[in-house]
Amino acid sequence: MQLGEAVAAALDAKRSADAGRIIETLTPLAREIVIDERRTELEVLRAAFLVERKRLTRFDSAVAASAQAQASTTNVKYTGPLAPHHFVQLENVGVA
């Protein structure tokens, strides 16, 4: 049981390190980032990046480079552009 726990902890540490590298690479190219909870233990990162149109080509290239660098162990699913609903913050609207 201890071996299983040690393996799980090592895998979690690797996922966190991989996610950290991705975030570190992409954050400077984005106006905002929202990190969502992973839905499965196999996911490394689930995040939304708000990117200005003029930076989109550079952002796409950075995602492609990151995916290429981790291609032996990680499949990257990159979707976009999408509506920026992740970045909307609803204020308390005084409903009577």
Q: 35 phi and psi, to 5 degrees? A: -100, 120
Q: How far apart are CA 75 and CA 71, in angstroms?
A: 6
Nearest CA to 64 among 53, 52, 80, 50? 80
Per-residue pLDDT at 12: 86
Work out the average pLDDT over 2-24. Answer: 88
Q: How far apart are CA 3 and CA 12, in angstroms?
A: 14
- The answer on pLDDT for 94 being more than 70 is no
Judge contact between 53 and 80, C-beta under 8 A.
no
| pLDDT, tens digit (0-9, with 9 covering 90-100), for 27-73 | 999 999 999 888 988 888 999 999 999 999 999 999 999 989 888 88
Whole-prediction pTM value? 0.77
